[in-house]
Chain A
């Protein structure tokens, strides 16, 4: 089975801190994604990557950056955390462009 793991299930940070969220997949998938999920707004795409060192902006990239140095690892970085970035963050991967996504368990981030 495909496994997507995220570094933390719960995280509490202070405004202005730099935050790293890590995601690792173990099935050699080409594509990786970062979403945030908020009540009433659904899943919103932050960034995605279709290859090592490649990244593309999603619908809401402001305030975030990403890094993909290795195929299995996709990191989301909040350069200076703000309270409006309090959310559930979900990482996903997919084998190819037409394939289903496999999601990690999520990281619930609270910024105080």
Chain B
């Protein structure tokens, strides 16, 4: 069973159609949760780190939130340039500091 599950696997939106991506995790304690954006053929690019339930971070049209068992990446009024794969990674407290990555959500925003 995967420790980090992202849903949906793929999402198609119209420009301006807001939505949310989900990252759920099953680690017993959370040290940190990271969101990355990956464009085709490139390496992932860091977006946010969240550490505790209730925390929120924002950047342009993106807002990341965290609860005890999941994180959401909210995309408000997306534009075609927001099209990318969004990856979530979780660090477990008390264990190795190496983050476990989810398989990602592929987002396509149509003009």
Binding site for B on A (CB under 8 A): 4, 33, 40-43, 45, 48, 58, 90, 92, 97-98, 100-106, 108
Q: Does B104 contact A (CB under 8 A)?
A: yes
Nearest residue, chain B, Cβ from A97: B97
Cα–Cα distance between A97 and B92 once the two chains are bound (Å): 11
Decide: A98 and B43 in contact? CB cutoff 8 A: no
Q: Which residues from chain B contact A33 at a C-beta distance below 8 Å?
A: 98
The contact of B42 among A92, A102, A106, by CB within 8 Å, is A106
Given A48-B98, A106-B42, are A100 and B103 neighbors across the interface (CB < 8 Å)? no
Interface string of B32-46 (1 = CB under 8 A from A): 101010000111111
Decide: B42 and A101 in contact? CB cutoff 8 A: no
Given A90-B43, A106-B41, A106-B42, are A98 and B31 neighbors across the interface (CB < 8 Å)? yes
Q: Which of A40, A48, A97 has the most CB of B within 10 A?
A: A97
Binding site for A on B (CB under 8 A): 31-32, 34, 36, 41-46, 49, 87, 89, 91, 97-99, 101-104
Q: Which residues from chain A contact B31 at a C-beta distance below 8 Å?
A: 98
What 6 additional pairs, Cβ within 8 angstroms, besides A33-B98, A101-B99, A102-B46? A4-B43, A43-B44, A90-B44, A101-B89, A103-B44, A104-B43
Number of A-B residue pairs with CB-CB distance less than 8 Å in the complex they form? 43
Cα–Cα distance between A61 and B2 once the two chains are bound (Å): 19
Decide: B103 and A41 in contact? CB cutoff 8 A: yes
Nearest residue, chain B, Cβ from A2: B46
Q: Which residues from chain A contact B46 at a C-beta distance below 8 Å?
A: 100-102
Decide: A42 and B102 in contact? CB cutoff 8 A: yes
Decide: B101 and A42 in contact? CB cutoff 8 A: yes
Decide: A98 and B91 in contact? CB cutoff 8 A: yes
Decide: B45 and A58 in contact? CB cutoff 8 A: no
Given A98-B32, A98-B91, A100-B34, are A43 and B45 neighbors across the interface (CB < 8 Å)? no
Nearest residue, chain B, Cβ from A6: B43
Cα–Cα distance between A2 and B84 once the two chains are bound (Å): 21
Decide: B42 and A43 in contact? CB cutoff 8 A: no
